[in-house]
A and B are shown apart, each in its own frame.
Chain A
Amino acid sequence: MSDSSPPIPPWRHRLSLAGSIFLGAIFLVAAWAKTLNPGSLADQITREGLDFLLPAGVVALIALALEYFLGSALVLGLRRRVVLWPTAALVVFFLFLTGRTYVRSLQGIEPEDASCGCFGNLVQRTPAEAFWQDLFLMVPALLLAFLALRGGLPRVRTAIAVAVTLAMTLLAWRAPHLPLDDVATSLKPGVDIASLCIEGSSGSDVCLDGIVPELSEGEHVVVLTELDDELIAHVDDLNDFYWTAEAPALWVLTGASEEELFQFRFTQGPTFELREAPKPLLQRMWRQAPRSFEVSDGEVTRTWSGLPPLDALRSAESQDSAAVPSATTR
């Protein structure tokens, strides 16, 4: 096929290879940022209305597989039509999505999710940043990759790309069931609660320590949750814990609407402190609700998938207060 074409000068090969590796690396980083939290990608797919043929979870896995295959193929220098044309289509599609969000933000229509573009919740970008970064990083690299198209598909490199794709897609499929919350989200031991922020509508940050300023001092347990059946099943436990004098102060944060909160209050009678938090902020801190963590003087000290071990926390505090007479009182 390319035999009759004039030979490609070496500089074009080098530039093409550099563009290919750079673009492939972007795809791999973007895919990795979403691999450990495919549920968040599925939510984004639902919001974008891209689940019209298949369930959002399946679309998310297909999208990740495609990104991994194209990313690893490009990094391995597979500059073939079968790789580059789907890559071009994907770049155009990403630009369409980020461009649409950017235009909406310029029109004052807020994006529902603070996470913009293709990097999941670990990488926070404004709509403008997402669009311009995608445009200036991906398009030149793509054009460079097209400078020196090659023929045929080398078996070994293709096999490596397929193997990477299968392995990473399998990881993404199983990731929600693996104890990787601390790796996959911004909430992990050692984090200062003041650093858990999203960009607010007027440009300044909305941070966890602004929603619960009380966390800055003393010992606290925070539950991030939906107002769902699991929470309802544990309302009594949480109420009891809240009123245990020796236990750390309990805060329950939810992204529920005003109506959902009203209905919850008048059907469940919670007596613990229930506060609203923006959903995008919660999505930075969880893969699946509920998730909980312990805070000491504004720093996250422990995290738990699900609700906290209330009995263990209570008994630990009781022992501490027996040893030290100055027990925490509410």
Chain B
Amino acid sequence: MFKCPYRQLFVLLLLGLAISWPAAAEVDSVFSAFRPNGDYLFELDGEAVSDATLYFSDRARAYLIVGPALGSPLLIHPRSGVVEKISLMKVQKNEDGSIDLLADASFDQVGKFRLDGLSLLFDYKGQQAVVRPKPALVGMQSATALRDFKPEYAAEADAYAPSSAALQALAGQGRDVTVRVFLGTWCPVCGRTVPKVIKTEEALAGLGGSNIQFEYYGLPRNISEDPVAAEMKINGVPTVVVLTGEREIGRIDGRDLHSPETALRELLDS
């Protein structure tokens, strides 16, 4: 099949245009507020489409897949099982990373999806399209890797404002401390709390650094399968293990991670 070498560039240009288009156009009242969802990945003919991003809208109760390789964004309706495509020009990306469809967007049915185990499958342009859960990010990770892996983490981290008093206290404390965060990228509580730890780390770096080093360790769904988790007796995620050298001085679990900088400060002060 003929493949235009500039096709992807052209689609990227269109996507850029769509994103930067003035927000004067009227937004669809239902198909709006699509937020990035890093729980799933998208494949075409068995190959992961790395630049495709999945979004979900509570209002529309639908998923949207956007990416240069697709051309037209695809809309997945869970209740009806219908997959539709929309003109890229009718997609508006907002500053907060969310996406709205414009009121005059037209929907062309691509087909119906079917479910098979942990896969949602449909035919798209003669290829087999699959949406499936992303495998968990396991092992030692950086904050950047977590941000890239889960767009929700990035959004939550950016939205969080740590307590400046707690940050100042943490920045000024003299001990060399390691904060090892055990998390599951599949875990909803981690989605609410780990971004706050990431933001705390970034905020401390912004204050000129501290003696606190942050580490992130991703665990599989079956936590007990992981030897490090077993060795550290990690029973659930998120669990933050605080160490000085190799000596554990305390733990913080999801219950106290609504304000990680405060919980960490209290632990180090105690």
What's the Cα separation between A200 and B188 when bound, in Å? Answer: 19
Q: Does B265 contact A (CB under 8 A)?
A: no
Query: Number of residues in B with C-beta < 8 Å to the partner?
Result: 33
Contact status B189-A269, CB under 8 Å: no
With known contacts A213-B257, A267-B115, A273-B188, A206–B78 Cβ distance under 8 A: no
Contact status B233-A267, CB under 8 Å: no
Interchain CB contact (< 8 A) of A267 among B78, B193, B230: B78
Which chain A positions have C-beta within 8 A of B62? 269
Interchain CB contact (< 8 A) of A263 among B76, B115, B254, B255: B115
Contact status B235-A211, CB under 8 Å: no
Contact status A258-B118, CB under 8 Å: yes
Which chain A positions have C-beta within 8 A of B257? 213
Q: Does A195 contact B (CB under 8 A)?
A: no
What's the Cα separation between A239 and B186 when bound, in Å? Answer: 22
Which chain A positions have C-beta within 8 A of B235? 200-206
Interface residue ranges of A192-233 to B (CB < 8 Å): 194, 200-206, 209-214, 216
With known contacts A202-B234, A216-B255, A269–B224 Cβ distance under 8 A: no
Q: Does A243 contact B (CB under 8 A)?
A: yes
Contact status A259-B61, CB under 8 Å: no
Q: Does A266 contact B (CB under 8 A)?
A: yes
Q: Does B133 contact A (CB under 8 A)?
A: yes
Interchain CB contact (< 8 A) of A243 among B58, B133, B233: B58
B39 to chain A, nearest CB (A): 9
Q: Mark B67-96, 1 if CB is under 8 A from A, else 0.
A: 000000000111101000000000000000
* A273 to B, closest residue via Cβ: B188
* A262 to B, closest residue via Cβ: B118
Q: Does B236 contact A (CB under 8 A)?
A: yes
Q: Does B258 contact A (CB under 8 A)?
A: yes
Interface centre among B77, B188, B234 (most CB of A within 10 A): B188
Which chain B positions have C-beta within 8 A of A273? 188
Contact status A267-B224, CB under 8 Å: no
Q: Mark B126-143, 1 if CB is under 8 A from A, else 0.
A: 000001010000000000
* B113 to A, closest residue via Cβ: A266
Q: Does B221 contact A (CB under 8 A)?
A: yes
Contact status A267-B255, CB under 8 Å: no
Contact status B255-A269, CB under 8 Å: no
Q: Does A315 contact B (CB under 8 A)?
A: no
Contact status A259-B117, CB under 8 Å: yes
Q: Does A321 contact B (CB under 8 A)?
A: no
With known contacts A258-B118, A269-B62, A209–B255 Cβ distance under 8 A: yes
Contact status B255-A275, CB under 8 Å: no
Q: Does B43 contact A (CB under 8 A)?
A: no
Which chain B positions have C-beta within 8 A of A210? 189, 236, 253-255
Interchain CB contact (< 8 A) of B118 among A202, A259, A269: A259
Contact status B188-A275, CB under 8 Å: yes
Which chain B positions have C-beta within 8 A of A319? none
Interchain CB contact (< 8 A) of B224 among A194, A201, A204: A201
Interface residue ranges of B115-164 to A (CB < 8 Å): 115, 117-118, 120, 131, 133
Which chain A positions have C-beta within 8 A of B236? 200, 206, 210
A298 to chain B, nearest CB (A): 10
Contact status B133-A262, CB under 8 Å: yes
Interface residue ranges of A242-297 to B (CB < 8 Å): 243, 258-259, 262-263, 265-269, 271, 273, 275
Which chain B positions have C-beta within 8 A of A200? 235-236
B111 to chain A, nearest CB (A): 15
B241 to chain A, nearest CB (A): 13
Contact status A266-B120, CB under 8 Å: yes
B168 to chain A, nearest CB (A): 25
Which chain A positions have C-beta within 8 A of B253? 210
With known contacts A202-B224, A243-B58, A268–B79 Cβ distance under 8 A: yes
Contact status A266-B61, CB under 8 Å: no
Contact status A239-B79, CB under 8 Å: no
With known contacts A201-B224, A204-B233, A269-B79, A213–B133 Cβ distance under 8 A: no
What's the Cα separation between A304 and B67 when bound, in Å? Answer: 46
* A235 to B, closest residue via Cβ: B79
Contact status B221-A266, CB under 8 Å: no
Which chain A positions have C-beta within 8 A of B61? 239, 269, 271
Interchain CB contact (< 8 A) of A211 among B79, B189, B258: B189
Interface residue ranges of B248-270 to A (CB < 8 Å): 253-255, 257-258
Which chain B positions have C-beta within 8 A of A214? 192
Contact status A269-B78, CB under 8 Å: yes
What's the Cα separation between A204 and B237 when bound, in Å? Answer: 13
Which chain B positions have C-beta within 8 A of A267? 78-79, 81, 115
What's the Cα separation between A194 and B256 when bound, in Å? Answer: 13
Interchain CB contact (< 8 A) of A271 among B58, B76, B188, B254: B58
Residues of B near any A CB (own CB < 8 A): 58, 61-62, 76-79, 81, 113, 115, 117-118, 120, 131, 133, 186, 188-189, 192-193, 221, 223-224, 230, 233-236, 253-255, 257-258
Q: Could you list 9 A-B pairs, sorted by A, with CB under 8 Å? A: A202-B233, A210-B253, A239-B61, A259-B117, A259-B118, A262-B115, A262-B133, A266-B115, A269-B62
